Amino acid sequence: MPTPVADIQQLIYRVAVQQDEAAYRSLFLHFYPDIRKFSQSIVRNPQWAEEIANDVLITLWRSRAGILEIQNLKAWLFTITRNFSINFLKKERRLQSLSLDQIDVDVSLPAINPDEVFVTREMKRKLEAAILELPPKCRLVFRLVKEDGFSYSEVARILDISVKTVDAQLVTAIRKITSAVQLKYGLSTR
């Protein structure tokens, strides 16, 4: 179960003001899986991604005095993750420059709770298949906006692209997913 935003804000306050290590551990556990997954989509190696995720969260602790000034901690952490991941690859001399099209994103739809619209397992499988068929840049933008809940401007900052590019990629992703699902179920748009 995700940690409520109010609890996250309280943890951030405790880390920044009280230097509370228990609160830091809670933030670490909350953000680590998403940061590791995002890093792995860039470096394509689970061990490297774990190391980078740890480094990012150590940076959070080292920067604790200024974290109250950060408007969106998750976006800040994802930006650092992107930078650390790209720098790691450069150090390893495995990649001279990284294009967003080279980033492989593993997409999994979140579990549906009873309050949300009922979607059968088959429909969920079809949606996941349609998402996996998206071009890498579309898939990455779709994941950051729709799964991770970032705004267009936050995604633009994280990926160092324009907001219009984010919008265009998301429109493309939604069109392709809608088209794929309609074809697989024989639905009409009328």
Whether 69 and 128 map to the same domain: the answer is no
- Supply the range of the domain harboring residue 148: 101-185
pTM for the complete prediction? 0.66
Task: Kindly write down the DSSP assignment for every residue of 74-131, as one continuous string.
Answer: HHHHHHHHHHHHHHHHHHTTS-SS--GGG------PPPPPTTSPP--HHHHHHHHHHH
- Identify the CATH number of the domain in which residue 84 sits: 1.10.1740.10
Q: Tell me: do 84 and 105 sit in the same domain.
A: no
Going residue by residue through the chain, which has 190 residues, state the pLDDT in tens, using 9 for 90 and above.
556 767 999 999 999 999 999 999 999 999 999 999 999 988 888 999 999 999 999 999 999 999 999 999 999 999 999 999 988 888 876 445 555 665 555 555 555 555 445 556 677 777 788 888 888 888 889 989 988 889 999 999 999 899 999 999 988 888 888 887 776 555 554 4
Check whether residue 75 and residue 9 sit in a common domain. yes
Please identify, among 35, 57, 91, the residue that sits at the C-terminal boundary of a domain.
91
108 and 77 within one domain: no
